[in-house]
Amino acid sequence: MNRVAIVGGGLAGMRAAERLRELGHAGEIVVIGAEGGLPYHRPALSKQFLTGSLSAAELEITPLDDLDALWRAATPVSALDHRRRVLHLPGGEELRYDGLVIATGVEARRLNGGQHGHQRVVALRTIADAKRLHRALAGNRLPVVVLGTGFTGCEIASSLRSMARDVVLVGRSSALMANLLGPELGGRLTDLHRRNGVGLALGTTVEQWSPGPRSVVVRLSDERVIEAACVVVAVGSVPAVSWLRDAGVTIDDGVVCDETCHVVGLEDVVAAGDVAQWPNTRFDPRPRRVEHWTNAIEMGRAAAESLLAGRASAVPFTPVPRFWSEQHGTRIQAAGVPALGTATVALRSGGRGVTGYVRDGRLVGVVGFDSSAAVLAHADLLAREPVRVQAPRRVSFLRAVRAAGR
């Protein structure tokens, strides 16, 4: 391949470029990113950057080695012509490629009628978004409303409380992060936030927005009215695939790939990171996306390997996903795919307990609170072989989640 183009200037794209060089690719590498500058540590936006303990410069990620790559920052790709192997860039420019890595990530999900674009309504996804949030908080001591009870919403609420800000978490679910943790651990996390002074408006939605120059007034479905310094919208994300709509690429909650990261139906094209949906056959054959920091690193490297090997010779990408979050001083870690579990069971390792998620008698994921060593030990087991678990003692995970109002 004379030229490999990488669309997406984030972590997955950078790690793909590094792996290409490690494997001896001597041709041209062009990395094209919509944002300006090098990749940065995006998870820190809701933690250290929001609280001010890290600056924008400190979030920047530099390549591990001299990549000898051409970086095209602030250059959104508008379309892909896979038959001609051409990318369409601003100003009518066409960039030809021999191999292509799609790593465009995700965009913050928007709410219908959510007043997006107002100076006091922020969807936290980029450094520019985080700076807007800082401006909205400056000199205004009204509460902050956070919409969304997932990872990002909970981390933002925790960070705001560490800054002595009043905050209200609003979400449809009856417990925080219940879709991932289930009702028992979700309830435990909900209690943690409540004990640390987070206001909770669960089982509710925003019925009306009234934005102004100094505040945003929201009326909730339970008739509660809150005047807020700003509203942070953290209701999930959608894959950044609009540039692929007419490219003949199969799109289904992301770019659909086979088990080797090759994009279905295209030659010499792979995908990596948050935008990619692929079957992790370690767990089951259903294609899924994984939006976690470690997956962006591992899949970027795996996609580069598969691109150079070719579809016929590439090996399946079968990681054990791992992720963590720190909220109110409590470290929450997980490994595997807990959402696949149909039941839960208590597990122990080195004297610390974690919750195991089981399907058909097989361990598919673990979650621990302040139990790093125990979670890592079970992650190693998941990576080596299928783990059989007998007689889960707790109620059906799926039944309990549905009963909790999922």
- Indicate which CATH number applies to the domain containing 393: 3.30.390
Handedness of CA 380, 381, 386, 391 (dihedral sign): negative
pLDDT score for 393: 45
Same domain, 154 and 95: no
Amino acid at 102: I
CB 11 within 8 A of CB 31: no
User: Final residue of a domain: which of 208, 235, 262?
Assistant: 235
Q: Which distant-in-sequence residues (6+ apart) come within 8 Å of 88 by Cβ?
A: 77, 78, 79, 80, 81, 94
Instruction: Point out which residues pair with 71 in neighbouring strands.
Output: 31
pLDDT score for 397: 37
24 half-sphere exposure, CB direction, 13 A CA radius = 2
Same domain, 103 and 242: yes
Structure-token pair, residue 89: 């860039």
pLDDT score for 390: 61
Residue 364 forms part of a structural domain: yes
CA distances from 220 to 147, 151, 207, 209, 385 (A): 11, 22, 5, 9, 48
Same domain, 231 and 254: no
Same domain, 173 and 253: no
Residue 210 belongs to domain spanning? 110-235
Per-residue pLDDT in tens (0 to 9) along the chain, 406 residues: 899 999 999 999 999 999 999 999 999 999 999 998 889 999 999 999 999 999 999 999 988 778 899 999 999 999 999 999 999 999 999 999 999 999 999 999 999 888 888 999 999 999 999 999 999 999 999 999 999 999 999 999 999 999 999 999 999 999 999 988 988 999 999 999 999 999 999 999 999 999 999 999 999 999 999 999 999 999 999 999 999 988 989 999 999 999 999 999 998 999 999 999 999 999 999 999 999 999 999 999 999 999 999 999 999 999 999 999 999 999 999 999 999 999 999 997 766 789 999 999 899 999 999 999 999 999 998 988 767 776 444 433 344 334 333 3
pLDDT score for 152: 95
- For the chain, the C-alpha Rg in angstroms (whole number) is 22
Residue with tokens 């420019």: 93
CA distance 133 to 148: 16
Amino acid at 241: V
CA distance 48 to 363: 34
Residue 49 forms part of a structural domain: no
What distance lies between CA 377 and its chain's CA centroid?
24
Structure-token pair, residue 366: 């673990």
User: Final residue of a domain: which of 235, 259, 281?
Assistant: 235
CA distance 226 to 169: 12
Residue with tokens 């978004």: 129
Helix pair angle (178-195, 151-162), 10° resolution: 10
Same domain, 122 and 150: yes
- Secondary structure (DSSP) of 11-61: HHHHHHHHHHHHTT--SEEEEE-SSSSS-B-GGGGGTHHHHTSS-HHHHB-
Task: List the CATH number of the domain containing 274.
Answer: 3.50.50.60
Q: Which distant-in-sequence residues (6+ apart) come within 8 Å of 260 by Cβ?
A: 270, 306, 311, 314, 315, 316, 317
pLDDT score for 395: 38
CB 89 within 8 A of CB 78: yes
CA distance 266 to 205: 41
pLDDT score for 134: 96
Same domain, 118 and 31: no
Residue 323 forms part of a structural domain: no
User: Final residue of a domain: which of 180, 204, 235?
Assistant: 235
Structure-token pair, residue 270: 């792979």
The structural domain count of the chain equals 3
Same domain, 125 and 155: yes
Of 120, 162, 128, nearest to 144 by C-alpha is 120
Strand bridging mode 362-369 / 330-336: antiparallel
pLDDT score for 399: 42
Q: Which distant-in-sequence residues (6+ apart) come within 8 Å of 357 by Cβ?
A: 182, 336, 337, 338, 339, 340, 341, 343, 344, 363, 364, 365, 366, 367, 397
CA distance 17 to 28: 10
Kindly report the number of other CB atoms within 10 A of residue 44's CB atom: 17
